[in-house]
Structure 1
């Protein structure tokens, strides 16, 4: 490779006129202007906006102050000019931050073209409670009976404001779910707060800016409490009250006045509460029953008569477990109108929203007091067009709304959510009309970072389904499904999908939060539960591929975002997990009985048919393969963190496991024990197959695929890597054939059957329109959507060169069955684009590289003398040959390469003979 600086000047003739760079897109801990962070040394990031090609940052200057004027007395950190190209996740190192304080910050940068930016627009971050001592409020509990399906509690307190207000904040959390109200209006736009964590060890609190909501004189603060995950039924074991039998509230209003004084309005014994409100019952699985006749008009405003309300009980809990929210909140993200309203053959009134989604329906209704509208939810209709809810199991997922009468009423539920495409409506007064029903989509508010498109409409629909599967299941935690009596944080599902998730959306804070709960729930011996938060309590059992989430997800987040802190934070958990396997496997380095679930839901004709030809993979092989992989990733993580002793030790473990894997599971001819697709995939992906046998093992994999007429037989653990392994071993054409397969089992079979999300099972709906086993048949289950990773990386060609995409690899894999493919991705440095299209014997490769990064563009089947850049011949000395193509190194900018394209002949798999 030639020195990078050489390439920075390769394209000077086609550069734009030089302009000064600008720093924008400022974030703190990945978030825009976050309020309430409790990280004492938060990290700051920015993007560089520069039109000149090959722009790199040479230096930066950050300043942080308690006032937007950045006057000297208010400045708490000024780095001065720092000669470095770092522009992401710069750790704050100024004066120790104070709690409940807003800090403003700016940055200016210098580039390698001798240009300096102006100071950026100021951004801010605001600290929360940095220690338990910052809390002056006490926990309060309304009078309540520890019973199932009781009314939601309502609490209130009146207080007075007599001086001019500078700022005011509300700090709140709850046992259960809460909604906060001030002077008749809901506080904030977050929903399902405080979210779901391992409540006994970590409980999140939210911070709200309420300055504009306060008024001179009397004010009223109120709250509603619902069961949520804390007290409600959770898990398919129908468990109630796992974390506690009583709901409670902790709330602290902190008001800063113009005279410098601070007043706290706290939850304490002066609050009052009642359970005689309109929410008669609520539950995550059951839905909500609401009687509008029991609404307490004006209960969060002054003048309300609360004489019949009871004093609350003051409770005591350890505030050391309170943590500020570092993840993104759950919001109402979008709204969808009905596409059809009809009656089923049996007369059920059904509304179709056209998209399987997670959320609820906003109801507009006009009728008489006492009339009740019942709304049930379903993902699919049966083969006869009837409403189908058997796959929801014990979840009733029903809204019952009783009207108060007197005009139009608008209702949305408060403490529940449903997974659905269809609703069945009973008791609606009058004709069902589209304007009366709106589907409200909710999920964690993760910025969309990736988009994929190609010339095949069904593949585009598959990408749509992958994205909607993520929307439906990334709801504060990564759930397995949003509809039935489960909706749990299955660790294996999150593990296999995490890389695809990070392409589609900005998931760093989302996973950082959840991984802390993974560590919090880790068993004393080092094993990892099946689900996190762990409400199943399965006798401290761990399963390979599921427990490995503790290692794979932190490493994935480091790779995508160059985030060392998540490795530092999770490293003790990562190490404890691998050490747990080491103890389990002993000196044979084979993890016997380490796989509880095997290659979950692999293809087989019958649910009890485990014969090897139908896709079965030996569980011990799976466990040992993941043992090796996690050891390898732990070694690499130790290297990143500068722990050379652990790096060497766990690399040695990996090599020992690899030798054991070869001895026990690979024949001298390259066959892998069980001869299953997943066996070959894991062996090749995890580097366990000796170099001398890789070609043979890959050929056996291809032989299996071809013998099935280009069908897969993999389950949850083999599917994510199947197409990757084929591409990496020279069989991209086979990967395309699998992706484009439209008959069962395949990715496009559900698309052909009308799916709008990813299914749990390859044949959730069978070819005769009947259903798979109702006990486990979700139609919104993202795991198999992990193929999106291959679509981004291999099909469109956007690959990682260095952590965080500081260096980018563009390496598309065109195929004659597709005319074009394109991906855009918003990295920490800015937007990356990789796309190609073939037309009239010419291929064009389109590339966008963001400032402060570099890239290698690998052009398949190209010859330097035939390649044009932006319509002009490329200089032969700017490229060098690689296997079956050339590489051109570039800096930031937009590029279009074109050259003659010859259809690629299919690589033939040659297998060994015995």
Structure 2
């Protein structure tokens, strides 16, 4: 019998975690014969007293409904699965543990407690309770949450490795509790339970223009309860209440997400008094998203002495986390750690942090070797300044601990260009940095907010790189809770800016786009069903604004945010008209709502919204498309949006693709898009037959471009195309971050188009393999460890052939589209194809100052010769010429010299003569003279 293997089944909220009584189950068949299909599966659930096995007919293996009786609180068991194909049954998988982390309906009893008389805002506290454990303890489960951030210790040992619990949710609507097994930490007899408590997000000051203030509350509080189970069947609850003791004088002096942490190891908690009972808030529910913890470490790469004599550590990678130091010194020595993403003039570049001081201070107790890492803050940094270090400094005594939501990596991309690989790695690090309890915009300055626009454009990329279904589904719950009665979606979630009263296109559309992405990439139908009222409320609000004209016009808009032409002080001032963008998103969201309704069997609503979407589409075309087929907003983003959102089709779509390609060349193959256009510009080009132009944009290194930041040494994606200027100075705008993933949404195109790996059915049950050789690349590959297992495709040039290899996982099929061949279907297994793909051996033409600007731009050597001649005389003039020249077909290079010194023009002409000579084309030029 053929060998078949099945991996241990997975639960929807993570390993072992059953956050509700009926968790959905997934499994992957890892080894099977080529073409194997699942005909049935058996799922077995074993508890202490019984084993139940259920047979499930059919091919389903992703997010399968729980087939057993609902779980009880704290119930444990082991889950395993086996599958059947035509060859018969596989062996059973290894068992996967299951643990019900939710509480019973009436089991939450804890009060929120804190300091009785705090003397300053967000004062850290220590809370303590002693208790006795009888003989015969069998289980001890700790449940806790906070208005703030906490860590609990049982008999001096931390209960887990999670950081900044319980994270950030809209505390007034939703609280999350942790569930932790602490049985091994208890002993018969006397025990102690201690909790360290700080303000976290609950007490943080939010706001801009010097108007920041706490949104939720001034002081933290914590609520927890310990359930003790004994062999005789009895149980006991130890809950937080007024019987606990509290102290505000522990070693944690202060802590804030933006300012950092101050810790004095000499101090011990004194002045104990009764804890104060605070307002209860909403009843917490179990965590459904991954925990935040240390996910890696990065050693010091270089020790730098700054011009001012300061010691600066370079970790070689912009990251999010904290420093762990190992130090010896005298009692009272203070080590100060300052953090920043970049250097400017050789010193920490802290201006972009605004009021986030990002400074940790550790005071030594002086009793030998001491280790410290801040517990209640995090920083975004590549560089750290160390001062006050006692004795000789050894960089081995400092390590950067990477902190973030513990997501499973699922997607990889690689190609023959190391710069593009670095770009992709920068996208990965940007996601790792900004997925910390919620999807934030940036991790370093006084912001770190869940901007809806950023994740709306990045969700497809995120869903390939990491298994983020549960993470984003949890955040979408918060979005729906924050949504206003009229349907308004805030700019940020949680909404600490009160932004839900003003709808903004591309930001509020996260309500429709993100659930749709989770269905497409993970086959998560339940999240669409749960979010459907939110999706509908958003669309209905927009339709009310649009009225009979079916156009979203006027009002506030972010538009194509951080268009590269926008001035530093006005990032919303884009080339694409904001009304055109807004009405385009109205069409997109209405279309997505119609599809969601159809998926959920709401046929009448599906038909209604599909018809309304067509009305919006027709209105958009009437308003913005000229009789000649151009857009009134003649900008890259406008055409990309029309093409990719489906606002145009047929000949008009092809015509707009041609115009977009002309604009891209006119702009010197520089990116001309902001947040809205960047995720779709390359797709719009390649999808309309302009892959060469898309490739030129991808490989462009001049600013603005994706590779400009790579050439400047970036290790994450920047917020602005020019967050750092070519001279190494920081963009003068008030809003500059060096770790923003939004503009990294190009990675989704790299995965799907360049690599050639895309879902053809939800969850990759059917895969589309369509590798697209990009001029300038010799090879590329995409790999995805998805819901059905590992799928990959790779291509490389071999002379005039293209060699394509692919791996299709069991129980799936693939649609294959190769150059020069009709599309075909393959079953699971390993595949290899070779197709003709001759290299472009076009002989370059002779060039001179009467050559068109378009031809110069499409000839990289000629373009380099022109710019190089300028730079040889004056780099400033060269940059000015590069930026203002419109590289069009109906203008010659000579025409661009109207305001150029004859000396410079002559130098350019001479350089082109030399280029022709190198190419052996000098005689051609003479013949035309």
Q: What TM-score does the superposition give when structure 1 sets the normalisation length? A: 0.90
Q: Which residue, 54, 58, 72 being the options, matches 1:84?
A: 58
Q: Does 1:245 align with 2:218?
A: yes
Q: Does 1:195 align with 2:167?
A: yes
> 1:504-583, aligned counterparts within 5 Å?
504-538=465-499, 540-583=501-544
**Aligned-partner Cα distance in 1 for 2:102–2:227:** 11
Q: Does 1:892 align with 2:853?
A: no
**Aligned-partner Cα distance in 2 for 1:605–1:766:** 15
Output one character per residue of 1:93-120: Cα deviation in whole Å (capped at 9) or x when no partner: 4323212222322222101x32201222
Residue of structure 2 in register with 1:210 after alignment: 182
Asked whether the equivalents of residues 561 and 571 of structure 2 are also in contact (C-alpha less than 8 Å), the reply is no
Asked whether the equivalents of residues 595 and 623 of structure 1 are also in contact (C-alpha less than 8 Å), the reply is no
**Aligned-partner Cα distance in 2 for 1:748–1:292:** 46
Residue of structure 2 in register with 1:42 after alignment: 23
Shift of 1:159: 1.0
**Aligned-partner Cα distance in 1 for 2:713–2:619:** 45
Residue of structure 1 in register with 2:229 after alignment: 256
Residue of structure 1 in register with 2:904 after alignment: none
Q: Which residue, 615, 628, 637 being the options, matches 1:669?
A: 628
Shift of 1:222: 0.7
**Aligned-partner Cα distance in 2 for 1:374–1:156:** 30
Where do 5+ consecutive residues of structure 1 fail to align?
A: 1-17, 297-305, 862-884
Asked whether the equivalents of residues 454 and 821 of structure 1 are also in contact (C-alpha less than 8 Å), the reply is yes
**Aligned-partner Cα distance in 1 for 2:280–2:418:** 55
Shift of 1:912: 13
**Aligned-partner Cα distance in 2 for 1:339–1:108:** 48
Worse-superposed segment, 493-502 or 154-163: 154-163
**CA distance 1:607–1:340, change in 2 (3 Å):** closer
Q: Does 1:94 align with 2:68?
A: yes
Output one character per residue of 1:146-177: Cα deviation in whole Å (capped at 9) or x when no partner: 73263x10011111112222222111111100
Shift of 1:323: 1.5
Asked whether the equivalents of residues 341 and 432 of structure 1 are also in contact (C-alpha less than 8 Å), the reply is no
Shift of 1:130: 4.2
Shift of 1:374: 1.1
**CA distance 1:29–1:761, change in 2 (3 Å):** same
Residue of structure 2 in register with 1:15 after alignment: none
**Aligned-partner Cα distance in 1 for 2:401–2:708:** 28
Residue of structure 1 in register with 2:901 after alignment: none
Q: Does 1:498 align with 2:459?
A: yes
Shift of 1:433: 1.5
Output one character per residue of 1:820-864: Cα deviation in whole Å (capped at 9) or x when no partner: 101110110100101101122222111001111111121112xxx
> 1:592-741, aligned counterparts within 5 Å?
592-593=553-554, 596-604=557-565, 606-607=567-568, 616-741=575-700
Asked whether the equivalents of residues 797 and 834 of structure 1 are also in contact (C-alpha less than 8 Å), the reply is yes
**CA distance 1:225–1:905, change in 2 (3 Å):** farther
Residue of structure 2 in register with 1:366 after alignment: 328
Query: Aligned to 1:243, what secondary structure does the other structure show?
Result: coil
**Aligned-partner Cα distance in 2 for 1:793–1:843:** 18
**CA distance 1:381–1:896, change in 2 (3 Å):** same
**Aligned-partner Cα distance in 2 for 1:711–1:702:** 12
Asked whether the equivalents of residues 233 and 283 of structure 1 are also in contact (C-alpha less than 8 Å), the reply is no
Worse-superposed segment, 776-785 or 886-895: 886-895
Q: Which residue, 249, 266, 276 being the options, matches 1:313?
A: 276
**Aligned-partner Cα distance in 2 for 1:897–1:622:** 42
Asked whether the equivalents of residues 841 and 900 of structure 1 are also in contact (C-alpha less than 8 Å), the reply is yes
**Aligned-partner Cα distance in 1 for 2:291–2:317:** 23
Asked whether the equivalents of residues 255 and 261 of structure 2 are also in contact (C-alpha less than 8 Å), the reply is yes
Query: Aligned to 1:633, what secondary structure does the other structure show?
Result: helix
Asked whether the equivalents of residues 132 and 319 of structure 1 are also in contact (C-alpha less than 8 Å), the reply is no
Shift of 1:645: 1.0
**Aligned-partner Cα distance in 2 for 1:279–1:30:** 33
**Aligned-partner Cα distance in 2 for 1:904–1:19:** 46
Asked whether the equivalents of residues 6 and 30 of structure 2 are also in contact (C-alpha less than 8 Å), the reply is yes
**Aligned-partner Cα distance in 1 for 2:810–2:147:** 46
Output one character per residue of 1:6-59: Cα deviation in whole Å (capped at 9) or x when no partner: xxxxxxxxxxxx52422214111151111xx43232101100122310111000
Asked whether the equivalents of residues 720 and 786 of structure 1 are also in contact (C-alpha less than 8 Å), the reply is yes
**Aligned-partner Cα distance in 1 for 2:58–2:643:** 39
Q: Does 1:282 align with 2:217?
A: no
Q: Which residue, 139, 151, 157 being the options, matches 1:185?
A: 157
Shift of 1:238: 5.1
Q: Which residue, 288, 294, 302 being the options, matches 1:332?
A: 294
Query: Aligned to 1:809, what secondary structure does the other structure show?
Result: strand
Asked whether the equivalents of residues 173 and 206 of structure 1 are also in contact (C-alpha less than 8 Å), the reply is yes
Q: What TM-score does the superposition give when structure 2 sets the normalisation length? A: 0.89
**Aligned-partner Cα distance in 2 for 1:726–1:103:** 52
**CA distance 1:610–1:548, change in 2 (3 Å):** closer
Worse-superposed segment, 113-122 or 129-138: 129-138
Residue of structure 2 in register with 1:23 after alignment: 6
Where do 5+ consecutive residues of structure 2 fail to align?
A: 843-853, 859-887, 891-929
Shift of 1:137: 2.6
Q: Does 1:478 align with 2:439?
A: yes
Output one character per residue of 1:465-514: Cα deviation in whole Å (capped at 9) or x when no partner: 00000011111111110110000000000100010011111110110010
Shift of 1:535: 0.3
Query: Aligned to 1:652, what secondary structure does the other structure show?
Result: helix
Query: Aligned to 2:684, what secondary structure does the other structure show?
Result: helix
Residue of structure 1 in register with 2:84 after alignment: 110
Higher normalized contact order (CA 8 Å, seq sep 6+, divided by chain length): 1
**Aligned-partner Cα distance in 2 for 1:355–1:610:** 27
Residue of structure 1 in register with 2:341 after alignment: 379
Shift of 1:774: 4.3
Asked whether the equivalents of residues 484 and 500 of structure 2 are also in contact (C-alpha less than 8 Å), the reply is no
**Aligned-partner Cα distance in 2 for 1:675–1:905:** 34
**Aligned-partner Cα distance in 2 for 1:29–1:163:** 37
Query: Aligned to 2:9, what secondary structure does the other structure show?
Result: strand
**CA distance 1:85–1:734, change in 2 (3 Å):** same
Asked whether the equivalents of residues 20 and 116 of structure 1 are also in contact (C-alpha less than 8 Å), the reply is no
Worse-superposed segment, 776-785 or 681-690: 681-690
**Aligned-partner Cα distance in 2 for 1:316–1:630:** 40
Output one character per residue of 1:508-534: Cα deviation in whole Å (capped at 9) or x when no partner: 011001000000111111011111000
Count of matched residue positions in the alignment of Structure 1 and Structure 2: 848
> 1:118-197, aligned counterparts within 5 Å?
118-145=91-118, 147-148=120-121, 150=123, 152-197=124-169
Output one character per residue of 1:218-247: Cα deviation in whole Å (capped at 9) or x when no partner: 111110001100012234365333112232
Residue of structure 1 in register with 2:401 after alignment: 440
Asked whether the equivalents of residues 287 and 397 of structure 1 are also in contact (C-alpha less than 8 Å), the reply is yes
RMSD: 2.1
> 1:803-842, aligned counterparts within 5 Å?
803-842=762-801
**Aligned-partner Cα distance in 1 for 2:576–2:835:** 44
**Aligned-partner Cα distance in 2 for 1:506–1:787:** 19
